[in-house]
Amino acid sequence: MSTEAIHDDHHDHAPSGIGRWLFSTNHKDIGTMYLIFSLAMLFLGGASAMLLRAELFTPGLQLLDPDTYNNLLTNHALLMVFGVVMPAAAGMANWMIPLMIGAPDMALPRLNNLSFWLLPFAAIMLMISMAAPYFPGGGTPINTGWTLYPPLSIQVGMGMDFAIFTLHILGISSILAAINIVTTIVNMRAPGMTWFKLPLFVWAWMLTGLLLIMIMPVLAGGVTMLLFDRHFGTAFFDAAGGGDPVLFQHLFWFFGHPEVYVLLLPSIGVLGMVVPTFSRKPLFAYKPLVYSMMMLTALGMVVWAHHQYTVGMSQAVTTYFMIGTILISIPVGYMLFSFIFTMWRGAMTFETPMLFAVAIILMFSFAGVTGVMLAVVPADLQYHDTYFVVAHFHYALIPGALFGLYAGVFYWLPKWTGHMYDERLGKIFFWWTTISFNLTFFVQHFSGLAGMPRRIIDYSPVFAEFNMISSIGAFAFGLSHLLFLWIIIKTIRGGDKAADKPWDGAQVGTPGLEWTLPSPPPFHSFSTPPLVK
């Protein structure tokens, strides 16, 4: 870095031009880039979902061929998980954790730059994986779904290699971001910001970071073994060569199940900020809530095989995974309980973030109870790989992860931009998106029970009604996000001036220090650590 940059550091001016973004080591700028990147990916992932729902509108093949359908399905999942939820959560962590704990920046600012700038290249790599089949020798598209199970993924053409490298890059990016966040939380807390004064969002990211560090290498290993099976004559997953196709499933879900909590916990953290604010009452049972998040993290690491009840594991092993999975209802139930009793006897107002929070508590509870249904092995032997599962995990991930992030966006937009968002439009967006979400996914429980498997491009007319409802809901859900985009653009461009503390309940319980700063905060904040009493 030049002396100019150091000079700027002292004088609190942001560097100008493209260099400000390319070489940024500022947590706020990198946070902004993460958020914009995830917003772009949201529209890409959403567009692929719209294409899938358009194809499923009526029986018969209309728009897509089966392989393109399956490739879009794969990309929809990869984009939403790795391109939208994880970067958006990382963007919020970047923006908010230093502000909340009174740190001047992230602990490792250059690593921060690297972990962000890996992402656009991963996204490009993923696009190449989809384009590869259209070139000579490219082979078949990735028609496996995001789980990439062999032997099917061995058959796939060159696209699979690009997808594997995409996952490698994403994995490196996530691990670096996680190391940075954990290091920041451990080392950079302001004097007096003790562990049990940490805002819940910081706790949630602490545990998320630890999870990421533990699981991403396993995924990287699994897909590397896949790469070796594809090209270098190994037979890790080929029974004919002494390997085991199910081994991949274990490796994948050893990553994949904790990954669910990686997606979920940051949003639970956002709820832990939003619900007390708008209930004007401290978080109910803060400490047990933190302990239950730890229990969730630990349990989440040891229940992965409930995604594979049907592969033929022994009864003893399967029973262990069933009990472990059912026990997850204790920490999850406790979290929801804490939020409900934070609202109880509070003085609630219903601004957009709070509306999302209440809807999340209700819909995520629903995902929780269908989760217990799925955890019960004999019943899962019927539900497995049907639309019931599709409905369940969309109820878990859209309210549990995505809506939590939306709540965070509305909650912190005034802090980030210095402007209040348009409350009326925010409420319209909330009702529009929540109703259309339920329209899309609620009926999928029924089509699943009636016998419709997941990941099929075409289906019998016996499932037609529910699919049509689902598609109509999905189009409305997709469209609602144009309003979301407009609200964000409008807020960035102008609007009522936001106060330092735009929400009057924002200081209850265990708040972050972000409200002690102006809105928007200066380019460099907390250069001298604040003292927390």
Partner 1 sequence: MSKRGLGWLNGLVTSVFAGGVMADWEINLPEPVSPVTREIFDLHMLTAGVALVIMIIVTAVIMYSLWKHRKSAGFEADQHFHESGFGKWAWVFVPVVVLGIDLSIAGKAAKVFDLVEDTTKPELTLKVIGSQWKWTYEYLEDDIRLVANLNRDIPETDPLYLRDTDHRVILPVDTRIRFLHTATDVLHAWWVPALAYKKDSIPGYINETWSIIEKEGVYRGQCAEICGTGHAFMPIVIEAVSKEKYAAWVQDKKLAAAAALVEASADKVWSKDDLMARGQEVYAGNCLACHQAEGQGVPPVFPALKGGLITTGEIAGHIDIVLNGKPGTAMAAWAAQLNDLEIAAVVTYERNAWGNDTGDVVQPADIKAARK
CB 277 within 8 A of CB 201: no
Q: By CB under 8 A, name the one of 214, 340, 425, 479 that touches partner 1.
A: 340
Contacts of 312 (CB under 8 A, 6+ apart): 246
CA distance 474 to 480: 10
For partner 1, give the closer residue by CB, 50 or 335: 335
- 156-215: contacts with partner 1 (CB under 8 A): 157
Return the range that interacts with partner 1 (CB under 8 A); candidates 162-170, 397-405, 442-450, 520-528: 442-450
For partner 1, give the closer residue by CB, 163 or 457: 457
For partner 1, give the closer residue by CB, 17 or 312: 312
Contacts of 310 (CB under 8 A, 6+ apart): 380, 381, 384, 385
For partner 1, give the closer residue by CB, 257 or 384: 384
Q: Does the protein bind partner 1 through residue 247 (CB under 8 A)?
A: no
CB 14 within 8 A of CB 26: yes
For partner 1, give the closer residue by CB, 460 or 527: 460
> SS3 of 345, please?
coil
Count of beta carbons in the 10 Å neighbourhood of residue 452? 21
Task: Bin 157: left if φ > 0, else alpha if -120 < ψ < 50, else beta.
Answer: beta
- 70-99: contacts with partner 1 (CB under 8 A): 70
- 387-406: contacts with partner 1 (CB under 8 A): none
Q: By CB under 8 A, name the one of 201, 284, 416, 421 that touches partner 1.
A: 284
For partner 1, give the closer residue by CB, 461 or 494: 461
* Minimum gap (Å) between residue 501 Cβ and partner 1: 17
CA distance 311 to 313: 6
For partner 1, give the closer residue by CB, 323 or 485: 323
Binding mask 10-29 for partner 1 (x = CB under 8 A): --------------------
- 446-505: contacts with partner 1 (CB under 8 A): 446, 449-451, 453-463, 465-466
Q: By CB under 8 A, name the one of 47, 111, 326, 468 that touches partner 1.
A: 326
For partner 1, give the closer residue by CB, 117 or 149: 149
Q: Does the protein bind partner 1 through residue 246 (CB under 8 A)?
A: yes
Tell me the torsion sign for CA atoms 291, 179, 268, 514: positive
CB 102 within 8 A of CB 517: no
- 104-143: contacts with partner 1 (CB under 8 A): 139-140, 143
Return the range that interacts with partner 1 (CB under 8 A); candidates 12-20, 203-211, 243-251, 400-408: 243-251
Please work out the total of residues on this chain that contact partner 1, with binding judged by CB under 8 A.
Answer: 89
CA distance 487 to 429: 9
First to last CA, the chain: 37
For partner 1, give the closer residue by CB, 198 or 343: 343
- 422-441: contacts with partner 1 (CB under 8 A): none
* Minimum gap (Å) between residue 159 Cβ and partner 1: 13
* Minimum gap (Å) between residue 145 Cβ and partner 1: 5
Joined tokens for residue 92: 């919020």
DSSP per residue over 16-45, as a string? -STHHHHT---HHHHHHHHHHHHHHHHHHH
Provide the residue type at 5 as one letter: A
Provide the residue type at 161 as one letter: D
CB 41 within 8 A of CB 84: yes
CA dihedral 33→39→43→44, nearest 10 degrees, is 40
- 223-242: contacts with partner 1 (CB under 8 A): 238-240
* Minimum gap (Å) between residue 152 Cβ and partner 1: 4
Contacts of 279 (CB under 8 A, 6+ apart): 342, 343, 346, 347, 348, 505
Q: Does the protein bind partner 1 through residue 263 (CB under 8 A)?
A: no
- 370-389: contacts with partner 1 (CB under 8 A): 370, 372-373, 376-379, 381-382, 384-386
> SS3 of 189, please?
coil
* Minimum gap (Å) between residue 458 Cβ and partner 1: 5
* Minimum gap (Å) between residue 143 Cβ and partner 1: 5
Q: What b/e readout covers 94-130, taking b as 16+ CB neighbours within 10 angstroms?
A: bbbbbbbbbbbbbbbeebbbebbbbbeebbebbebbb
Q: Report H helices in 84-188.
A: 86-101, 109-131, 152-155, 159-187
Q: By CB under 8 A, name the one of 280, 427, 481, 490 that touches partner 1.
A: 280
* Minimum gap (Å) between residue 239 Cβ and partner 1: 2
Return the residue matching tokens 């209802």.
329
Q: By CB under 8 A, name the one of 30, 130, 169, 336 that touches partner 1.
A: 336
Return the residue matching tokens 């990916």.
41
* Minimum gap (Å) between residue 382 Cβ and partner 1: 6
For partner 1, give the closer residue by CB, 295 or 479: 295
DSSP bridge partners of 497:
419
* Minimum gap (Å) between residue 294 Cβ and partner 1: 14
Determine whether 329 is exposed, middle or buried from the number of CB atoms within 10 Å of its CB (0-12, 13-18, 19+): middle
* Minimum gap (Å) between residue 82 Cβ and partner 1: 20
Return the range that interacts with partner 1 (CB under 8 A); candidates 37-45, 66-74, 107-115, 165-173: 66-74
Q: Does the protein bind partner 1 through residue 330 (CB under 8 A)?
A: yes
For partner 1, give the closer residue by CB, 56 or 177: 56
